Chain A
Amino acid sequence: MKKAANEIWVFVEQRSGKPADVSFELLSKGRKLAEKVSGTLKSVVIGHNVTPIAKQTFSYGAQQALTVDHPKLKDYKTTPYSRIMNELVDKHRPRIVLFGATFIGRDLAPRVASHTKSGLTADCTDLQISDVTYLRNDYKELLLQIRPAFGGNIIATIITPDAPIQMATVREGVMENLPLERPVKGKLLEIPYDEDAVDHIIEIIERHQEENKINLKAAPIIVAGGYGMGSRENFELIYELARTLGGEVAGSRAAVDAGFIPHERQVGQTGVTVRPKLYIACGISGAIQHRAGMQEANKIIAINSDPEAPIFDICHYGIVGDAAEVIPRLIDVYKHKLK
């Protein structure tokens, strides 16, 4: 098997010509990984009129941007995008390829990993480079793909010791967005689009897409509810507290699964990662997947009836009590203070 080049690639996702935040977060992380292995960071942009996006990646340290630009590639479709990525990866053999764990990334990455027989780890919460001894063999500079597993009871470090190409997906907001003060002098590599007969067997009949109206990532105050809220009615208290404090409403996965709150407002490993000034966790036990999405908050208040709940281990202020009783009192006291 052909050896991999010392390159770290980030698939830069665009929707209707707008680049996804997660791609820049991945480039920021990719730059650090590239420094660690003395390698090269490269971006791959597929779409139509994507040169501005490709150039934007130079502000994140991409030394080269590979673009495939064609009107027929304007919107993401599995077949042409995966075929193009397969060919690019086959040809250049990068050591690491990173994708956002978005609808597009989770559709594309497994297809490319399968074709190139690469290892792929989904929803990583951290990526590092380290030398590793695995089964008495020494490996230099492997990508450590770190993610909670098994219902959040364990944190697994996954490696891809023998496959030449290591791939991972990462959720939006997990890595920090760190543009360079001054862009690097990157090169554009424009690759012509050679249409294949199978590229467009799937036809897009209609597409409705809106900017996400809920912007949890930008909210300075977040009030989040968990399964411990007990009912949809009780969950109304979360909305009321958020309104009172001028914050956004969020929930744990359990609250989403119970139908208390829509998935768009889920915080955690399989939801959004947030770093607000204040995070109030109500009736949330604090499983690792949830903590992965909020533990960077400046201040955390936990309200839970179980004094042993793990959320109390990471909070700054802990209130033991039934959230359904504590929240109305908190609202009262706050309103009183404002007077």
Chain B
Amino acid sequence: MGYNSIVLVKQVPDTANISGQVMKPDGTVNRAMLPAIFNPEDKTALELALQVKDQYGGKVTAITMGPPKASDLLRECLFMGADEVYLISDRKFAGADTLATSYVLSEAIRSIGKFDLIFAGRQAIDGDTAQVGPQTAEKLGVAQITYVEEIIHLDKRKIRIKRKIDGGFEILECPFPVLMTVIKDAAQPRPFRAKRVMAYKNARSLMELEKMVEGNSLLYIDDLRHEFESKSLFIPTLTMDELKVDATRCGLHGSPTKVHKIESVVLAGGEHVKIQSTKEGLGQLIDKLMDDHILG
């Protein structure tokens, strides 16, 4: 027994902790100023996949699409317990909307091989769209279950889960393969395992090795890659060429939605009545609201 699980993870700017310097004077966002974090619900998704493995056996593979920097995230996946990780990275993938992202992810999943379960977070905190999961499922032609809050049971053929719906929940049963998007309440992500941190802190992607070579004339990329592979410290990196995807469906070019206009939020700066927080001030406010029939 055992299940092959694939987990879709994303590195996101920490939009909950935005400070003043993040906004450039022209109203655009200075991404470099934002700390990059593990998208919270993706971490929950990884935890659920690891729990399935702990209980039933199998393998957990984490994949992410992003810039070379996203290797940080994959190392964290290894620290938590992922068996394999893949970085999907190519300049030509940049600027993808959810449709183009789901296309590349689905092709990457196909190239990685057989799977029973795909886990993803319900949504990423930088866009809150909740679209990539269902769109990836559609492209793979598999069933989907969104808003998963609990995995109840798995047997040879199918999975039973509890999911949230408007005003309640439902319990569903679905044969494999299936893609699930999970909500934060589904599990508490485990901390990094010290042993695994020691084992994988030096894991590197192809782009990271290339960078090491750039700064050192004594190193050759093929040798270096071979060395890291032999120590199981190589993070496989899938580029556009490797995936043999249709370039017209990738990145900005393959994205039907375009950003037409970005406006920084300009507040009207409307006048308001300043109320003193004293008894007298608050009393006047209440009188006014009562006179206007808003209170009382």
Contact = CB atoms under 8 A, between A and B. Distances in A.
B272 interface: yes
Nearest to A118: B256
Interface in B125-179: 126-135, 137-139, 143-147, 160, 164-175
Contact of B29 (A102, A154, A203, A329): A154
B283 A337 contact: yes
Contacts of B289: 278, 299
Interface in A269-321: 270, 277-278, 288, 298-299, 301-303, 310, 312-321
B102 to A, nearest CB: 6
Given A114-B134, A153-B18, A154-B29, A202 B273 contact: no
B109 to A, nearest CB: 14
B195 interface: no
A110 B262 CA distance: 24
A157 B15 CA distance: 19
B288 to A, nearest CB: 8
Contact of A151 (B15, B137, B268): B15
A163 interface: yes
A201 B140 CA distance: 16
B79 to A, nearest CB: 24
Nearest to B273: A317
A123 B130 CA distance: 10
B146 A154 contact: no
A337 to B, nearest CB: 5
A213 to B, nearest CB: 9
Interface string A108-128: 011101110111111100000
Given A79-B143, A103-B147, A113-B99, A160 B258 contact: yes
A334 B286 contact: yes
B282 to A, nearest CB: 5
A202 B174 contact: yes
A106 interface: yes
- Contact count band on A: 35 or more
Contacts, number: 240
Contacts of B295: 221, 245, 278, 334
Interface residues of B, number: 78
Given A103-B165, A207-B168, A333-B283, A156 B29 contact: no
Contacts of A231: none
Contact of B261 (A123, A156, A162): A156
Contact of A209 (B27, B131, B167, B171): B167
B199 interface: no
A161 interface: yes
Nearest to B17: A151
Contact of B18 (A78, A115, A151): A151
B272 A202 contact: no
Nearest to A142: B260
A12 B160 CA distance: 29
Interface string B264-285: 1101111011111101011101
Nearest to B122: A106
Interface of B: 13, 15-16, 18, 22-23, 27-29, 97-99, 102, 126-135, 137-139, 143-147, 160, 164-175, 255-265, 267-270, 272-277, 279, 281-283, 285-287, 289-290, 292, 294-296
Given A107-B144, A205-B171, 10 more contacts: A104-B166, A111-B137, A120-B257, A122-B129, A134-B260, A153-B264, A210-B168, A316-B273, A317-B275, A319-B282
7 contacts: A103-B166, A110-B130, A119-B97, A155-B263, A163-B256, A317-B275, A330-B282
